């Protein structure tokens, strides 16, 4: 089971940065902490394909909320053709995605709250590090 969630921060000039965090619930490993100005369903699929290629593992299930990039037909097709089931949490019930919410809390406290990003590239490099 991999859990996916997004977090938002800003660069020094006030422009939005979104982080897509993917956590393996079994190993509790952060598989991705990727920064971009925005994430579409296709961006999320590309990131999932990258993580699968890097780890050599494919999830059996994806746990996620009901955001538009996660409920899209493109991601549903990717899951169906890849044999991955989707486990959507109920709206307003973040405790149903506990592993990712726990990771997001630490990510915010230990990284986002301590860093000021001047550029998107800086946020990308520091997040991957």
Query: What is the length of the chain?
Result: 129
Q: What is the dihedral of CA 114, 29, 50, 53, to 10 degrees?
A: 150
pTM listed for this prediction: 0.90
**Rounded Cα distance, 60 and 85, in Å:** 6
Mean pLDDT per 10-residue run, the chain (129 residues)?
94 95 93 95 95 96 88 92 90 79 92 95 93
How far, in Å, CA of 64 to CA of 129, rounded? 24
């Amino acid at each position: 089971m991999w859990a996916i969630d997004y977090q938002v921060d800003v660069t020094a000039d006030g422009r939005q940065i979104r982080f897509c965090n993917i956590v393996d619930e079994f190993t509790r490993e952060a598989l991705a902490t990727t920064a971009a100005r925005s994430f579409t369903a296709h961006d999320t699929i590309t990131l999932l394909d990258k993580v699968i290629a890097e780890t050599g593992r494919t999830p059996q299930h994806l746990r996620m909320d009901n955001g538009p990039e996660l409920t899209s037909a493109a991601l549903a097709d990717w899951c169906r053709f890849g044999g991955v089931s989707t486990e959507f949490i109920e709206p307003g019930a973040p405790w149903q995605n506990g592993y990712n919410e726990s990771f997001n809390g630490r990510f915010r406290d230990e990284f986002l709250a301590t860093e000021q990003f001047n550029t998107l590239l800086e946020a990308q490099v520091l997040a991957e590090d």
